[in-house]
Amino acid sequence: MIEFKNVSKRYAGNQALDDLNLTIPTGDFFVLVGPSGSGKTTTLKMLNRLIEPTDGNIYFDDKRIIDYDLKQLRQQMGYVLQNIALFPNLNIQDNIAIQAESLGWSRKRRIDRARALLKQVDLDPDQYATRMPSELSGGEQQRVGIIRALAIKPKVVLMDEPFSALDPISRKQLQDLVLHLHQELKMTFVFVTHDMHEALRLGQHIAVMRLGHIQQIGTGEAIMQHPANAFVQGFFENEHTPRPATIHDLLLEGYGAATRAPATLPATASISELADALRTQTAVVVTTDQGVRQLTTADLLDYLATKEAN
């Protein structure tokens, strides 16, 4: 079991996490979901102590993670990165076994483990084990990124938006794959995403985050049926009822910089009104309940590109 107790994180004046309390049962598929900047990565990286909390404690199997030997803690926490980051100069089996090698596993044991894992994700070891990363597609590389995190049989697997750079078809295949691996391996999975669809597909429990606070924790079904507040409800509606997007949707996803300029459009204006306005203005200024923000053509293009990718 993993427990966050009153955990806060401040970066020079910026409160990234504020009094986080969270329990992740052993063997769970737990998803942290929220817009960009809500504190998901900070929460995840605290588990393998890549980031230390400013306040509060995190417990792993009833012991404070700060009291673990760092190396032993990290051996129990496999970590899958967003940008796949395979070592380009190592072949696939050596990439998979790199942590096993540092633990002193014999060469035979490492290769056997790498080949077994390749099989488990439908990559034929005879074909793939000795290829270089550049000879694999993005989806194949991410499969290797996932099994690399599993190689030394950690108790917990941490995944930070592992599929966000992939096309929708590879993404769906990899979602099926991690569900399947989770069922087979009985490890605890902690998965970060900004995509509510992905959270609902994968999570046994979901924590919805916003601006360093947890808004709601529960099963997907419970959250969908009884959203705790307007933010959670809006996050679901954005995903489920196709309606014309508004400026508010961009702001919810964290686009737009703070400004003191006077507002030029309401937040309820549609995306096409925003696009029209940006033909003649370099920035559109909107007043929201979090203050005044300005949006540029770059914000609009980024937003549309991520919608397209989803």
**CA atoms of 200 and 159, how far apart (whole Å):** 16
**Residue 58 β-bridge partners:** 4
- Between 42 and 48, whose beta carbon lies closer to ligand ADP? 42
DSSP state of 262: P
**215 touches ligand ADP (CB under 6 A):** no
Applying CB under 6 A, the span of 35-43, 52-60, 137-145, 226-234 interacting with ligand ADP comes to 35-43
**256 touches ligand ADP (CB under 6 A):** no
119, 122, 123, 127: CA torsion to nearest 10: 80
87 contact choice in Mg ion, ligand ADP, none (CB below 5 to 8 Å, kind-dependent): none
| Contacting residue, 34, 145, 218, 220, with ligand ADP by CB under 6 A | 34
Applying CB under 6 A, the span of 37-45, 125-133, 180-188, 272-280 interacting with ligand ADP comes to 37-45
- Between 103 and 257, whose beta carbon lies closer to ligand ADP? 257
**41 touches ligand ADP (CB under 6 A):** yes
For the CB of residue 124, give the shortest distance to ligand ADP in the complex, in Å: 35
**76 touches Mg ion (CB under 5 A):** no
- Residue 156, helix vs strand vs coil: strand
| Contacting residue, 27, 37, 56, 125, with ligand ADP by CB under 6 A | 37
**CA atoms of 184 and 210, how far apart (whole Å):** 32
User: How is the beta sheet containing 55-60 ordered, strand by strand?
Assistant: 14-24, 2-11, 55-60, 63-64
Which residues are within 8 A (CB) of 213 and not within 5 positions of it... i.e. 6 or more apart?
A: 18, 19, 20, 39
Applying CB under 6 A, the span of 34-42, 89-97, 142-150, 261-269 interacting with ligand ADP comes to 34-42
**CA atoms of 105 and 131, how far apart (whole Å):** 22
183 contact choice in Mg ion, ligand ADP, none (CB below 5 to 8 Å, kind-dependent): none
Applying CB under 6 A, the span of 32-40, 103-111, 120-128, 239-247 interacting with ligand ADP comes to 32-40
Instruction: Return the CA Rg of the chain.
Output: 21
Which H or E run contains 288?
A: strand 283-288
For the CB of residue 17, give the shortest distance to ligand ADP in the complex, in Å: 7
**CA atoms of 266 and 261, how far apart (whole Å):** 14
Among residue numbers 19 through 48, which ones bind Mg ion (CB under 5 A)? 41
| Contacting residue, 2, 4, 29, 40, with ligand ADP by CB under 6 A | 40
14 contact choice in ligand ADP, Mg ion, none (CB below 5 to 8 Å, kind-dependent): ligand ADP
The tokens of 7 are what? 């955990």
The pair phi, psi for residue 86, each rounded to 5°, is -75, 150
**14 touches ligand ADP (CB under 6 A):** yes
Which H or E run contains 240?
A: helix 230-240
The pair phi, psi for residue 30, each rounded to 5°, is -105, 130
**36 touches ligand ADP (CB under 6 A):** yes
Are the CB atoms for 160 and 80 separated by under 8 Å?
yes
| Contacting residue, 28, 42, 215, 300, with ligand ADP by CB under 6 A | 42
The tokens of 127 are what? 């074909």
For the CB of residue 122, give the shortest distance to Mg ion in the complex, in Å: 29
For binding to ligand ADP (CB under 6 A), which residues are involved?
A: 11, 14, 16, 34, 36-42
For binding to Mg ion (CB under 5 A), which residues are involved?
A: 41
